[in-house]
């Protein structure tokens, strides 16, 4: 039986940690790619040599050569410049557009049937770039955003209530950034709405913390951005494709009229399975939620309008 093949482009903190999560889950063989000579190879050696200790079976190649990525099933794009203190995701637009464009061209050449998961920031715009450059069907292109944002929301709620994060579910829509839309109405603890447990003021504080968390981590790290939670989120998406799990996850997906948006990649709940984005789930929004969502969509549109390919 042929094993699945996962390519991860960018062997920095996010990409290397993606490789780690994918290896521990035994999702398939891994190709770790980086433009800096030796980085991907060194990290692949190190990760491979942890497998006897942890007891997971896989094979990994670290390389600068995209020929090794040929016939990948899933590709996770982490390449690009990380955010630094004082830098918004928007500041990354021009430089990361060229990086993601170059990566996408290589992936489309060697793995024309792959599914691509974009992590590079600003992710909604970079997912759009990946789609335009690759020419792939929209179901095979998606961005990692809402899973990470919802995970942060869930973490704050669990800590506030002193309950297990496993029992907390949350949903975050919109662009991945300061305009994201955490939906408190759809956040539950073991099926119970959080409004049963928390005041409006405490819920709003959690929403604000969710929006700010990425920037807080950047300020604390000083030389980069978050990597454990983003990489875990990307690999959850990859796992749902590879195992055809049909997970309902919030991802940056192409909208073709849903939510009143057409032609852009925006964070919404979708069903992810063996055919990639199999369904966009359109939920009812209140007037206030719709207004926030429209504001977030406008922010993404403004970014995309500044992209030069």
Q: Output the domain CATH number for residue 60.
A: 3.40.50.720
Helices 13-24 and 39-48 pack at an angle, to 10 degrees, of: 30
Nearest to 6 by CA among 200, 300, 237: 237
Distance, CA of 67 to chain centre: 25
Same domain, 97 and 203: no
Predicted local distance difference test score (pLDDT) of residue 102 = 98
Strand partners, 168: 189
Same domain, 280 and 291: yes
Per-residue pLDDT tens listing for the chain (309 residues): 789 999 999 999 999 999 999 999 999 999 999 999 999 999 999 999 999 999 998 899 999 999 999 999 999 999 998 766 776 656 779 899 999 999 999 999 999 999 999 999 999 999 999 999 999 999 999 999 899 999 999 999 999 999 999 999 999 999 988 899 999 999 999 999 999 999 999 999 999 999 999 999 999 998 889 999 999 999 999 999 999 999 999 999 999 999 999 999 999 999 999 999 999 999 999 999 999 999 999 999 999 999 988
Same domain, 94 and 175: no
- For residue 92, give its domain range: 5-143
Predicted local distance difference test score (pLDDT) of residue 72 = 98
Residue ending a domain, among 108, 127, 143, is 143
Element at 9 (helix H, strand E): strand 5-9
Quote the tokens at residue 245.
């799990």
Same domain, 216 and 112: no
Predicted local distance difference test score (pLDDT) of residue 88 = 67
Q: What's the rounded Cα separation, in Å, for the pair 127 and 279?
A: 17
Q: Where are the alpha helices (DSSP H) in 58-145?
A: 93-110, 123-134
Predicted local distance difference test score (pLDDT) of residue 176 = 87
Same domain, 152 and 295: yes
CA angle (149, 265, 120) in 5-degree steps? 60
> Position of tokens 């990639």?
276
Residue ending a domain, among 114, 143, 172, is 143
Nearest to 115 by CA among 234, 280, 257, 228: 234
Element at 176 (helix H, strand E): none
Give the number of other CB atoms < 10 A from CB of residue 110. Answer: 18
Same domain, 74 and 127: yes
Same domain, 94 and 242: no
Predicted local distance difference test score (pLDDT) of residue 2 = 82
For the chain, the domain total comes to: 2
Same domain, 187 and 115: no
Q: Three-state SS for 78?
A: coil
Quote the tokens at residue 239.
């796992």
Same domain, 36 and 118: yes
Q: What's the rounded Cα separation, in Å, for the pair 80 and 95?
A: 8
Q: Which residues are catalytic?
A: 176
Same domain, 294 and 221: yes
Residue ending a domain, among 95, 112, 143, is 143
Give the number of other CB atoms < 10 A from CB of residue 257. Answer: 10
Give the number of other CB atoms < 10 A from CB of residue 303. Answer: 21
Predicted local distance difference test score (pLDDT) of residue 87 = 67
Q: What's the rounded Cα separation, in Å, for the pair 170 and 184?
A: 8
Q: Three-state SS for 59?
A: coil
Label the pairing between strands 247-256 and 192-193.
unpaired
> Position of tokens 């398939």?
28
Predicted local distance difference test score (pLDDT) of residue 83 = 67
Same domain, 153 and 262: yes
């Amino acid at each position: 039986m042929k094993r699945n093949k996962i390519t991860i482009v960018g062997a920095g903190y996010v990409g290397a940690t993606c490789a780690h999560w994918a290896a521990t889950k035994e999702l398939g063989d891994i190709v770790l790619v980086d433009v800096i000579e030796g980085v991907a190879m060194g990290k692949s050696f190190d990760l491979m040599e942890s497998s006897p200790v942890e007891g997971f079976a896989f094979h990994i190649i670290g390389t600068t050569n995209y020929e090794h990525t040929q016939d990948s099933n899933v590709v996770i794009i982490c390449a690009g410049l990380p955010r630094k203190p004082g830098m918004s995701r928007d500041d990354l637009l021009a430089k990361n557009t060229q990086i993601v464009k170059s990566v996408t061209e290589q992936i489309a050449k060697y793995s024309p049937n792959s599914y691509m998961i974009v992590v590079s920031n600003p992710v909604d715009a970079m997912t759009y770039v990946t789609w335009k450059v690759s020419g792939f069907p929209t179901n095979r292109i998606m961005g990692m955003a809402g899973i990470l944002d919802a995970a942060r929301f869930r973490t704050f709620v669990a800590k506030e209530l002193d309950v297990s994060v496993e029992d907390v579910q949350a949903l975050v829509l919109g662009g991945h950034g300061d305009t994201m839309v955490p939906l408190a109405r759809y956040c539950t603890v073991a099926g119970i709405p959080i409004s049963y447990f928390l005041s409006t003021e405490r819920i709003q504080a959690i929403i604000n913390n969710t929006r700010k968390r990425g920037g807080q981590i950047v300020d604390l790290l000083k030389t980069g951005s978050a990597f454990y939670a983003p990489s875990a989120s990307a690999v959850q998406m990859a796992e749902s494709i590879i195992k055809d799990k049909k997970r309902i996850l919030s991802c940056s997906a192409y909208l073709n009229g849903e939510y009143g948006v057409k032609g852009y990649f925006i964070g919404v709940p979708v069903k992810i399975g063996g055919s990639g984005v199999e369904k966009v789930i359109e939920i009812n929004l209140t007037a206030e939620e719709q207004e926030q969502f429209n504001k977030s969509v406008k922010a993404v549109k403004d970014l995309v309008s500044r992209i030069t390919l």
